[in-house]
Amino acid sequence: MSFRSALTLLVLAFWLAPLQAQPFVFQDIKGKPQRLSDYQGKWVLVNFWATWCPPCLEEIPDLVELHEAHRRKDLVVIGVALDSTEKSVREFVNRFAISYPVAVSDYDQAAQVGEVSVLPTSYLYDPKGELVSYQEGMLTRSSVESYIKSKQ
């Protein structure tokens, strides 16, 4: 196991215990509302990011892989860009083939999920819709899958 993987798992070990989830709605760049309640029965990872954020850009390929591997069965990723215009985010999503839903928001609207003081920041909800994890900093596909496996 690499140092980075070990560090990621250590950080995951300190994720928060289950918390009361707040309902949220973000309109994605295709015009579709993205609500926690729409994904009842699945894990939901809400990832706040920005196009100018190097760690955010580094984690996107893993998030795409995670979403593609699980979206039909047990997990979805919802990306929320906090920096740019919808047009620039749409161009970015197309250029980098981001397959999960992406919304453009601001920090005030992001607060409906929780505090976002650094980017990237991710919130993980279990299949019952309970907030079970919060992560400031990068995630990897394997770290999320390991966390979920440990909770099943």
pLDDT at 67: 98
76 has a pLDDT exceeding 60: yes
Cα dihedral: 25, 88, 60, 105 (round 10): -20
Split at pLDDT 50, 70, 90, the class of 85 is confident
- Taking 80 as the threshold, does the pLDDT of residue 44 lie above it? yes
pLDDT reading at 100 higher than 90:
yes
- Strand boundaries in 50-120, DSSP class E: 75-81, 102-104
d(CA 52, CA 80): 14
Q: Where are the domains of the chain?
A: 3-151
How far separated are the first and last CA of the chain, in Å rounded?
A: 23
Phi-psi region of 110 (alpha: psi -120 to 50; beta: other; left: phi over 0): alpha
- Rounded Cα distance, 3 and 18, in Å: 28
In the CATH hierarchy, which fold is given to the domain comprising 3-151?
A: Glutaredoxin (3.40.30)
Please give the pLDDT value at position 84.
73
Question: Which tokens hold the place of 104?
Answer: 């453009």
Residue that is written with structure tokens 């309902």 in the block: 23
